[in-house]
Amino acid sequence: NAGVTQTPKFQVLKTGQSMTLQCAQDMNHNSMYWYRQDPGMGLRLIYYSASEGTTDKGEVPNGYNVSRLNKREFSLRLESAAPSQTSVYFCASSVEQGNQPQHFGDGTRLSIL
């Protein structure tokens, strides 16, 4: 089982460029999440999707958009990248809302110059 797969693993962008981070899970999970991880800040929730067709803002949604394309895929888009968005981005999924643990992808290291 691949679990949660994120692409790309690394990316460098210039300020103002746009890009989409892709995430797919093969565990038939209903809920999917995007986090960013910054030094000394732990993980912060950007957006999440409790089910196909629904998305909700997390703690730090500004500057991002998401799309739950189908049950498997949940993409994160930066329309106009800013240096403050330099971070490591993690996608995660869980069976459903509630007490189920989240399964994480390997992360995408994104640098904005």
Partner 1 sequence: AQTVTQSQPEMSVQEAETVTLSCTYDTSESDYYLFWYKQPPSRQMILVIRQEAYKQQNATENRFSVNFQKAAKSFSLKISDSQLGDAAMYFCAFLPHTNDKIIFGKGTRLHILP
By CB under 8 A, residue 26 contacts partner 1: no
| 19 within 8 A of 81, measured Cβ to Cβ | yes
| 45 within 8 A of 35, measured Cβ to Cβ | yes
- The residue range among 11-19, 61-69, 74-82, 84-92 that interacts with partner 1, by the rule CB under 8 A, is 84-92
Binding residue (CB under 8 A) for partner 1 from 50, 61, 75, 86: 50
Binding residue (CB under 8 A) for partner 1 from 25, 55, 85, 102: 102
By CB under 8 A, residue 95 contacts partner 1: no
| 95 within 8 A of 29, measured Cβ to Cβ | yes
How far does Cα 81 stand from its chain's mean position? 15
By CB under 8 A, residue 92 contacts partner 1: yes
The footprint of partner 1 (CB under 8 A) covers: 31, 33, 40-45, 48, 50, 56, 58-59, 88, 90, 92, 97-99, 101-104, 106-107
